[in-house]
Amino acid sequence: MPQYQAVKGARDIFPEESARWKYVEGVVHALAALYGFSEIRTPVFEYTELFQRGIGATTDIVGKEMFTFLPDPGGKSLTLRPEMTAGVMRAALQKNLLGTAPVHKLYYISELFRKERPQAGRQRQFSQFGAELLGVSTPAAVAEVITFMMQVFETLGLRGLRLRINSLGGTHDRLRYREALQAYFGPYRDRLDAPSLERLEKNPLRILDSKNPDMQEIVAGAPKLFDYLDAEALADFEKVLFFLSERGIAFEIDHRLVRGLDYYCYTAFEVTGSELGAQDAVGGGGRYDGLARELGSSADIPAAGFAVGMERLLMTMEKQGLFTALTPHAPLVYIVLQQQEFAEHAMQVAFRLRKSGISTEIDLAGRSMKSQMREANRLRSSYALIIGENEVRSGEYTLKNLVTSEQTALSLETLLEILHEPVLKE
């Protein structure tokens, strides 16, 4: 075994797989443009405080999953970002984005870091694509982020993903509900597990998130947040559902759905895939008007967004056989050199071809003509361009079609012209 291994929970992506990533990323970029979302890139690390305020101290992420370090003695603690929303909101506030236009539609494809126990579908470094719509969180805005996300899935050809949706109501609704939950779980104190006991005081809503099978029976009998929503919250939720129905987006209302992060309000949603095993969440999101104020803004900023795990998305696509049509990048031309003494000449031809936009490969290791031909076939190049003494002398190169084996002698100028013909580029 080599001396150095990748860190557990982090992985390498080799060319065959990175072709898949590029394909998925291409779809995300294209649909973001269709929906009018522009890309934002934020730093990989932020001050730890940002996440403590922006995600919430009682969450698992902040409680135990952050990679936190002190860069300088006596300096401020830094954390590798475990999610994007807090950083995007920080950036928007720092730049006063909403002072320049009332609505900003941002998206990202970014690396994140969480100190979780690595297992299938759960890494310590992973990626998400996501969107954040800032400045408006009307049902139309919430429906727009969901529609964007669902169209990405649809365009990728994914089948059988479940969209579950719920409303968490406004702050006042949740305050009433919180009291109701404390009243309900209180008598079960001796049956609650340690994390739930801790959440009972700090954030009883999160008890409902418990994955502990022993807790399920108690959780099942808990009051439903939905029953505590006021008329305005209900009307808001119905409007979101109306938009989704109009667009043919299938959803299931799930009153048990509460997102793990503290700043969500009103609509929350999650997408799961049946092929993923225990870690079945592909993505999720919702509305988070309160986050900006949490980060020091003098008022709420209406906002809605989602994040989708790229690894789980790719894993689902793989399981559904959606990558079979993807062929790795093949060069149009492979230059086959007959005698090494013309290597410099051949290099110059390769340069000319590439310069005019024709993908070209050439042997850099001085291998035999036979192994160059083999390599041309292995790379599934469309043509071999044979260069030898005759070719250099006459200025006409032999272009061999590697499918039909047809050969033609052509000058470099004609070659450049012909290889640009779409008919040959196929």
Q: Which is nearer to ligand AMP, 105 or 124 (CB)?
A: 124
258 binds ligand AMP (CB under 6 A): no
Residues in Cβ contact with 417 at an 8 Å cutoff, skipping those fewer than 6 apart: none
110 binds ligand AMP (CB under 6 A): no
What gap in Å lies between CA 107 and CA 141, rounded to an integer? 14
CB-based burial, 392-408: b 16+ in 10 Å, e otherwise = beeebbbbbebeeeeee
Q: Which stretch in 89-97, 224-232, 278-286, 383-391 sits in contact with ligand AMP by CB under 6 A?
A: 278-286
Locate tokens 């070209």: which residue? Answer: 360
Binding-site size, ligand AMP (CB under 6 A): 16
Total length of the chain: 426
Sequence-ordered alpha helix ranges (H) in 157-264:
171-185, 194-202, 216-220, 231-246
By the 8 A CB rule, do 185 and 207 touch?
Answer: yes
The correct pick among 83, 144, 289, 294 for binding ligand AMP (CB under 6 A) is: 83
Task: Compute φ and ψ for 28, nearest 5 degrees.
Answer: -60, -45
Closest CB 61 distance from ligand AMP, rounded Å: 7
Side by side, the strands of the sheet bearing 360-362 are 360-362, 333-337, 383-387, 396-401, 407-411
115 binds ligand AMP (CB under 6 A): no
31 binds ligand AMP (CB under 6 A): no
Closest CB 342 distance from ligand AMP, rounded Å: 51
3-state secondary structure of 131: strand
Q: Which is nearer to ligand AMP, 127 or 360 (CB)?
A: 127
273 binds ligand AMP (CB under 6 A): no
By the 8 A CB rule, do 413 and 395 touch?
Answer: no
Q: Which is nearer to ligand AMP, 119 or 216 (CB)?
A: 119
Closest CB 146 distance from ligand AMP, rounded Å: 14
Closest CB 418 distance from ligand AMP, rounded Å: 47
In the range 282-311, which residues lie near ligand AMP by CB under 6 A?
Answer: 282-284, 307, 309, 311
Q: Which is nearer to ligand AMP, 104 or 259 (CB)?
A: 259
Locate tokens 């009332």: which residue? Answer: 102
Closest alpha carbon to 178 in 295, 306, 281, 58: 58
114 binds ligand AMP (CB under 6 A): yes
3-state secondary structure of 376: helix
Q: Which is nearer to ligand AMP, 164 or 174 (CB)?
A: 164
Q: Which is nearer to ligand AMP, 265 or 307 (CB)?
A: 307
For residue 272, how many other CB atoms are within 10 A of its CB? 17
For residue 261, how many other CB atoms are within 10 A of its CB? 23
312 binds ligand AMP (CB under 6 A): yes
Q: Which is nearer to ligand AMP, 128 or 267 (CB)?
A: 128
Closest alpha carbon to 122 in 5, 280, 233, 231: 280
Q: Which is nearer to ligand AMP, 196 or 316 (CB)?
A: 316
122 binds ligand AMP (CB under 6 A): yes
Q: Which is nearer to ligand AMP, 12 or 201 (CB)?
A: 12
The correct pick among 35, 51, 107, 126 for binding ligand AMP (CB under 6 A) is: 126
Closest CB 312 distance from ligand AMP, rounded Å: 4
Q: Which residues bind ligand AMP (CB under 6 A)?
A: 83, 114, 116, 121-123, 126, 128, 281-284, 307, 309, 311-312
